[in-house]
Amino acid sequence: MKALVLGYGNRSRNDDGVGWFVVERLDELKLPAVELLAAHQLDVDHAEVISRFDTVVFVDAAIPQSPVPVARTLVKPGFRSHAVAHYLAPSDLLELAITLFGRAPRAFLFSIRGHDFNFGTTLSAPTESAAREAVRQISQLVLPGAEQGGVGCESEAAHA
């Protein structure tokens, strides 16, 4: 299994940079057959990148009102019109990968509850703690031979 972890968010807005934090912690683990990528936001160009993988894990910050610190959701392909024209969701990228490249990977979204979205580059303590739990869960998910089922994938969170 070839896996990609794609963390995204604004590193200059404290907890919104949690996707980058998770990618950096995963890099320290040197997981086999796992590539890591961090970006400010999801972009159309990512459709080509994700089409080359069996599994993709997206990591983003969720709003403070999210019901759980870490939500893991199975992502299905599907394009939705967005009020903000420059915004793409993981489901949009999967649909683009199918349309443009003929395939999309199995995908998960890890949404990590943020608390502080003011300008700065430091995660709040609760968000850092949740991010470390996400690193643990992601590392187990992407290990070769790991169960790829949807256990614990029923949570949803609104994104920052």
CB environment 119-158: b (16+ within 10 A), e (fewer)? eeeebbebbbebbeebbeebbebbeeeeeeeeeeeebebe
Q: How confident is the model at residue 1 (pLDDT cuts 50, 70, 90)?
A: confident
Domains of the chain: 3-142 (3.40.50.1450)
Could you tell me the CA-to-CA distances from 46 to 6, 49, 62, 156 in Å, in that order? 9, 5, 21, 22
Which residues, 6 or more positions from 160, have their beta carbon under 8 angstroms from its beta carbon? 9, 13, 15, 16, 60, 61, 62, 63, 114, 117
User: pLDDT > 90: what percent of the chain?
Assistant: 82
Q: How confident is the model at residue 80 (pLDDT cuts 50, 70, 90)?
A: confident
Determine how many CB atoms are found less than 10 A away from the CB of residue 64.
Answer: 16
- Per-residue model confidence as pLDDT tens digits over 7-48: 999 999 999 999 999 999 999 999 999 999 999 999 999 999
